Amino acid sequence: MSTLTVSVVTPDGPVLEEDFNMVSAKAESGELGILPGHIPMVAPLTISAVRLKGDGDSRRIAVSGGFLEVRPDKVTILAQSAELPSDIDVERARKAKERAERRLKEKQDDIDFRRAELALKRAMNRLDVYNNNF
Amino acid sequence: MASLREIKGRISSTKKTKQITKAMQMVSASKLNRAEENAKSFVPYSEKIQEVVASIAQGGGDASHPMLEEREVKRRGYVIVTSDRGLAGAYNASILRKAYQDIWNNHTSADEYRIIAIGRIGRDFFRKRNMAVDKEITGVADQPDFEDIKELASETVDLFTEEDIDELYVYYSHYVSAITQEVKKTKVLPLNDISAEQATKSSSASYEYEPNQEEILSVLLPQYAESLIYGALIDSKASEHAARMTAMKSATDNADDLIDDLSLTYNRARQAAITQEITEIVGGASALE
């Protein structure tokens, strides 16, 4: 079976570069499943988990936005942060979640509200990926 | 001539200073290594993002985004990257001199510019001159993560989107080698020259856009602009460590020279004292005879 090379790149350096059979990700326009031989494509991602399926094993990565570039034999994910479950700082994510929830309750002006909402999403995404909640 | 005791005191205090500068030199050298690695690991990200932006700009003529278009400049934003601590030779001074001159020459009133300061030295410099610092971040780690400055970067990019500023420049120190760093001024926004420069060398892949080009540009461009600010920061950090290493190396060398000179003076003074004592004894003895 043919494979796709998946590389995940962040400003802090490459996170992962391996071969997989399938990539499924949540783009802004909906769920995407990518198999080898896909036409070249670019799509923005939501704050979500990207799932990579290989022979027998599958991996999840928590991405915070960014986008996905697809070529027939290669998928590149460019995100401002991307973490494998083993790299997630659970304590920090939990604290970030509490902080964001508190801010949302206080309901300040719109910008802060939106920012807190995004922070909450990122924190929950990290926790979900860590706890394998899907 | 200073007394023996005085010279001895100066020698030992110079020795202590030398120990400190030597230690700082070694610390900076190891930090420089890591900063260089950080700068290297950032390269694939920025290259890829440039490639995609360029291929969008090249592929479809109808793709447009406010960040790609030049507009009349009413107010300019300056991001100025300096360090938190001194003792790095001319590192901070040369960045600040250039930025200060440019601001001074291009603007007549404080309403025409906004200053965003990364680093304590830069912030204090502008405050002291009564120039408002609109955003600031201090205490950035020696090996910064993107997370550390993400908020500042996205707020800065927002200033442009909200049309509070119409151009954004970054002043930082570019790391050339361990002994050379140069002050650089880079235009971050608008990104009107990225397409021409990159289009030629990017691969000819034509992409499908999901959902469409505008949507993608609106995600991609802010992310790209933020990454440019981060890129400037890590480049600056490498320069900072290099500058500090060089400055501390010359401080250590100077201390060595000083110690040599002082030891010579000390030995001379000691010898003179002994000679004098002998002369006195001999004089005393011959007086008794």
Q: Over chain A, what is the mean pLDDT?
A: 85
CA distance B31 to chain A (A): 16
The proportion of chain B whose per-residue pLDDT surpasses 90, expressed as a percent, equals: 44
pLDDT at position B28:
93
pLDDT digits (tens, 9 = 90+) for B129-183: 988 888 888 888 888 888 888 888 888 888 888 888 899 999 999 998 888 889 9
pLDDT at position A54:
84
Region A8-36 average pLDDT = 88
Which of B45, B206, B210 comes nearest A10 by C-beta?
B45
CA distance A11 to chain B (A): 5
Which of A41, A66, A69 comes nearest B223 by C-beta?
A66
Closest among B145, B175, B116 to B41, alpha carbons compared: B145
Length of chain A measured in residues:
134
How many interchain CB pairs under 8 A, A with B? Answer: 81
Given the structure tokens 């900072």, which residue do they identify?
Answer: B240
Comparing B94 with B203, the larger pLDDT belongs to B94
Segment holding B35, helix H or strand E? helix B4-59
B233 touches chain A (CB under 8 A): no
User: How many helices and strands in chain B, by DSSP H and E?
Assistant: 6, 6
CA distance B236 to chain A (A): 15
Residues B225 and B251 grouped into a single domain: no
ipTM above 0.85, yes or no: no
Token pair for B163: 């049309």
Which of B42, B154, B207 to mutate against chain A (most A CBs within 10 Å)?
B207
Residues in chain A within 8 Å Cβ distance of B210 = 27, 29, 32, 41-43
Residues B62 and B157 grouped into a single domain: yes
pLDDT at position B64:
72
Closest among A48, A42, A51 to A24, alpha carbons compared: A51
Which of A8, A26, A42 to mutate against chain B (most B CBs within 10 Å)?
A42
- Residue B210 above 90 pLDDT? no
pLDDT at position B97:
93
Contact A59, A6 (CB under 8 A): no
- The band of A1, judged by pLDDT with boundaries at 50, 70 and 90, is low
Asked if residue B289 belongs to a domain, the reply is no
Residues B19 and B103 grouped into a single domain: no
CA distance B34 to A13: 13
Alpha helices in B129-207 (DSSP H): 146-161, 194-199
- The band of B274, judged by pLDDT with boundaries at 50, 70 and 90, is very high
| End position of a domain, from candidates B213, B228, B244 | B244
pLDDT digits (tens, 9 = 90+) for A28-66: 888 889 999 888 888 899 888 898 988 877 888 889 888
Residues B180 and B212 grouped into a single domain: yes
User: What is the reported pTM?
Assistant: 0.83
Closest among A1, A2, A5, A24 to A71, alpha carbons compared: A5
Residues B149 and B15 grouped into a single domain: no
Which of A10, A73, A110 to mutate against chain B (most B CBs within 10 Å)?
A10
Buried b or exposed e, range A30-57, using 16+ CB within 10 angstroms: eebebebebeebbbbbbbbbbbbbeeee
- Residue A73 above 80 pLDDT? yes
pLDDT at position A128:
83
B164 touches chain A (CB under 8 A): no
Q: Which of A71-80, A124-133, B157-166 has the lowest average pLDDT?
A: A124-133
Residues B255 and B218 grouped into a single domain: no
B145 touches chain A (CB under 8 A): yes
- Residue B115 above 80 pLDDT? yes
Cβ within 8 Å, pair B208-A40? yes
pLDDT at position B93:
92
A-proximal residues of B, 92-131, CB under 8 Å: none
At CB < 8 Å, which residues of chain A contact B? 9-14, 27-29, 32, 39-44, 65-67, 69, 71, 76, 78, 80-81
Count of alpha carbons within 13 angstroms of residue B158, beta-carbon side: 9
Q: Looking at chain A, which residue has its C-alpha nearest residue B211?
A: A29
Residues B234 and B272 grouped into a single domain: no
Closest among A81, A31, A35 to A61, alpha carbons compared: A81
CA distance A28 to B209: 12
Region B212-216 average pLDDT = 79
pLDDT at position A67:
86
Residues in chain A within 8 Å Cβ distance of B53 = none
Region B93-108 average pLDDT = 90
Query: Which CATH number is B179's domain given?
Result: 3.40.1380.10
CA distance B173 to B82: 8
Asked if residue B185 belongs to a domain, the reply is yes
Token pair for B288: 């008794």
pLDDT at position B66:
80
Region B186-211 average pLDDT = 67
Mean pLDDT: which of B62-66, B192-196, B219-223 is highest? B219-223
Distances (CA, A) of B186 to B163, B223, B257: 19, 17, 41
Residues B54 and B156 grouped into a single domain: yes
Query: Which CATH number is B17's domain given?
Result: 1.10.287.80
Cβ within 8 Å, pair A40-B206? yes
Region B243-269 average pLDDT = 95
- Residue A109 above 80 pLDDT? no
- Residue A80 above 90 pLDDT? no
Contact B99, B126 (CB under 8 A): no
pLDDT at position B9:
94
Segments forming the whole domain that contains residue B264: 4-25+247-283
- The band of A134, judged by pLDDT with boundaries at 50, 70 and 90, is low
pLDDT at position B54:
77
Residues B17 and B134 grouped into a single domain: no
pLDDT at position B193:
65
Asked if residue B200 belongs to a domain, the reply is yes
Tell me whether the omega of the peptide bond preceding residue B190 falls within 30 degrees of 0, making it cis.
yes
pLDDT digits (tens, 9 = 90+) for B14-69: 999 999 999 999 999 999 999 998 888 888 888 888 887 777 776 655 667 788 77
Q: Over chain B, what is the mean pLDDT?
A: 87
Q: Which domains, and CATH codes, for chain A?
A: 4-83 (2.60.15.10), 89-130 (1.20.5.440)
Asked if residue B81 belongs to a domain, the reply is yes
Residues B195 and B91 grouped into a single domain: yes
Residues B219 and B170 grouped into a single domain: yes
Cβ within 8 Å, pair B42-A29? no
- Residue B11 above 90 pLDDT? yes
Q: Looking at chain B, which residue has its C-alpha nearest residue A75?
A: B48
